[in-house]
């Protein structure tokens, strides 16, 4: 197979910025990527300053930089700063948006067969409490959500379309913008879980047409763990009722009255980590400097190379679906459990992860899949590292 295109930046320079590449071949970027040195230095410098000056005092000194993160995230996804809230995770961001919606008995929530376990658990809790109904939109034969089928399922009872952009258990990339056109045409709120796509590929909320989007720092953005963000469009903001408010998201104006913030930061709480917030900001700046188009081009190249190489090994089956397949590569090895393969690779300083049917039950049970090995590439990986991974798997 001829595999073209490698990205348009200096990979060796990026690897010099990534100390972890000296110790491991890291193919767990869909879990938590290796942070570049500038991100680590940003977090470390802030924490050291806290030890010298105090927590509140350090935050006050960095007020301007902490405010700038909203502009940086806005540039990343094509939104305004007033539409961004910083959270402690993508799961928190998604849950804050979802639980701020109102559902009644008979309301319909439309989702995709590849939906992530945490999101489905959220659906199930709301269904249990309100009588709302969860409905899975069929896939196309290639694996992604069938947008024509989605359009045909719309009626006056549909209250939400909620899908993932990229699932946890496959290289699949769902047609998020096509889903957005359906949602916009029918005036239905659209919540997009973008935790596996932001940082891997260009993501523009205007082009996609989503009303809400959740994302994390630790995956393809290469930021620190413990921080993420939420996008709420200006048109959607007043339709949501945050389940928790504190003196950051609202002001106590009189003894009997409070006023909610006018922007998406009503979804934030006062207590958060300034160090991790600045680390996220630096990670986004790093990605923007490289260019998301170039990152996506290289990720596609590396993933295609890995799939092709794994497919040439007898007894190895690549399990990815989708007409567009990104940086997540899932596979099984005949006669060997996924955890065993992961452990063998780890012994050779090659990091991968595993995915189980519990994490994507709709999809994995329908396809009769076992636990899978998940190797997620990113732009700082090399062809030599892929050869190393493939060599260990071939030895198994």
Whether the CB-CB separation of 164 and 119 falls below 8 Å is answered with yes
Asked if 211 and 303 sit in the same domain, the reply is: no
Q: Would residue 3 count as lying in a domain? A: no
What residues contact 8, with CB distance under 8 A and at least 6 apart? Answer: 291, 294, 297
Q: Would residue 5 count as lying in a domain? A: no
Asked if 174 and 118 sit in the same domain, the reply is: yes
Query: Would you list the DSSP string of 367-391?
Result: TT---EEEEE--TT--HHHHHHHHH
Q: What is the pLDDT of residue 9?
A: 81
Q: Would residue 263 count as lying in a domain? A: yes
Asked if 134 and 276 sit in the same domain, the reply is: yes
* CATH value at residue 197: 3.40.640.10
Best CA proximity match to 231, nearest among 30, 87, 101, 64: 87
Asked if 19 and 47 sit in the same domain, the reply is: no
Q: What is the pLDDT of residue 267?
A: 98
Q: Would residue 154 count as lying in a domain? A: yes
Domain that holds residue 209: 40-289
Asked if 140 and 94 sit in the same domain, the reply is: yes
- Where among 289, 309, 330 does a domain terminate? 289
> For 345, phi and psi rounded to 5 degrees?
-65, -40
Q: Would residue 6 count as lying in a domain? A: no
Asked if 331 and 272 sit in the same domain, the reply is: no
Question: Strands 350-351, 353-355: parallel, antiparallel or unpaired by DSSP?
Answer: unpaired
Asked if 272 and 316 sit in the same domain, the reply is: no
Asked if 196 and 70 sit in the same domain, the reply is: yes
- Where among 263, 289, 315 does a domain terminate? 289
> For 47, phi and psi rounded to 5 degrees?
-65, -40
Q: How many folded domains does the chain comprise?
A: 2
* CATH value at residue 29: 3.90.1150.10
Asked if 189 and 325 sit in the same domain, the reply is: no
Indicate the burial class of 273 (C-beta count within 10 angstroms; 0-12, 13-18, 19 or more): middle
Q: Would residue 58 count as lying in a domain? A: yes
Asked if 103 and 150 sit in the same domain, the reply is: yes
Q: What is the pLDDT along the chain (396 residues), one digit of tens a residue?
A: 344 455 578 999 999 999 999 999 999 999 999 999 999 999 999 999 999 999 999 999 999 999 999 999 999 999 999 999 999 999 999 999 999 999 999 999 999 999 999 999 999 999 999 999 999 999 999 999 999 999 999 999 999 999 999 999 999 999 999 999 999 999 999 999 999 999 999 999 999 999 999 999 999 999 999 999 999 999 999 999 999 999 999 999 999 999 999 999 999 999 999 999 999 999 999 999 999 999 999 999 999 999 999 999 999 999 999 999 999 999 999 999 999 999 999 999 999 999 999 999 999 999 999 999 999 999 999 999 999 999 999 999
Asked if 232 and 370 sit in the same domain, the reply is: no
Asked if 299 and 283 sit in the same domain, the reply is: no
- Where among 234, 254, 289 does a domain terminate? 289
Q: Would residue 4 count as lying in a domain? A: no
Q: Would residue 1 count as lying in a domain? A: no
pLDDT in tens, 51-104: 999 999 999 999 999 999 999 999 999 999 999 999 999 999 999 999 999 999
Quote the pTM value. 0.96
What is the C-alpha to C-alpha distance for residues 379 and 207, in angstroms, rounded to an integer?
A: 24
Q: What is the pLDDT of residue 2?
A: 43
């Amino acid at each position: 197979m001829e595999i073209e295109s490698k990205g348009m930046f200096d990979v060796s320079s990026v690897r010099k910025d990534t100390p972890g590449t000296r110790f491991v071949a890291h193919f767990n970027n869909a879990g938590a990527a290796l942070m570049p040195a500038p991100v680590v230095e940003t977090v470390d410098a802030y924490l050291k300053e806290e030890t010298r000056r105090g927590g509140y005092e350090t935050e006050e000194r960095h007020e301007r930089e902490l405010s700038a993160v909203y502009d940086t995230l806005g540039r990343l996804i094509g939104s305004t700063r007033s539409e961004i809230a910083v959270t402690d995770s993508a799961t928190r961001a998604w849950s804050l948006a979802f639980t701020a919606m109102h559902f009644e008995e008979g309301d319909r929530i439309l989702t995709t067969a590849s939906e992530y376990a945490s999101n489905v658990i959220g659906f199930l809790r709301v269904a249990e409490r309100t009588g709302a109904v969860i409905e899975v939109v069929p896939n196309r034969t290639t694996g992604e959500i069938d947008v024509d089928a989605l359009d045909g399922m719309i009626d006056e009872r549909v209250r939400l379309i909620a899908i993932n952009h990229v699932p946890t258990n496959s290289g699949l990339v769902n047609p998020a913008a096509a889903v957005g056109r359906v949602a916009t045409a029918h005036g239905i709120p659209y919540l997009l879980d973008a935790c596996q796509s932001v940082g891997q590929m260009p993501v523009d909320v205007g082009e996609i047409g989503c009303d809400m989007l959740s994302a994390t720092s630790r995956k393809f953005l290469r930021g620190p763990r413990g921080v993420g963000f939420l996008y709420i469009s200006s048109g959607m903001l007043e339709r949501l009722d945050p389940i928790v408010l504190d003196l950051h998201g609202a002001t106590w104006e009189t003894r009997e009255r409070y006023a909610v913030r006018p922007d998406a930061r009503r979804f934030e709480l006062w207590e958060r980590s300034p160090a991790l917030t600045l680390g996220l900001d630096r990670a986004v700046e790093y990605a923007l400097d490289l260019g998301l188009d170039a990152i996506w081009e290289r990720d596609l190249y590396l993933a295609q190379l890995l799939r092709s190489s794994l497919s040439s090994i007898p007894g190895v089956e690549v399990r990815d679906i989708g007409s567009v397949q990104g940086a997540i590569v899932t596979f099984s090895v005949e006669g060997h459990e996924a955890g065993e393969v992961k452990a063998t690779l780890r012994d050779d300083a090659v990091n991968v992860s595993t995915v189980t049917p519990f994490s994507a039950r709709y999809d994995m049970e329908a396809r009769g899949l076992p636990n899978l090995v998940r190797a997620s590439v990113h732009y700082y990986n090399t062809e030599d590292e892929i050869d190393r991974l493939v060599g260990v798997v071939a030895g198994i």
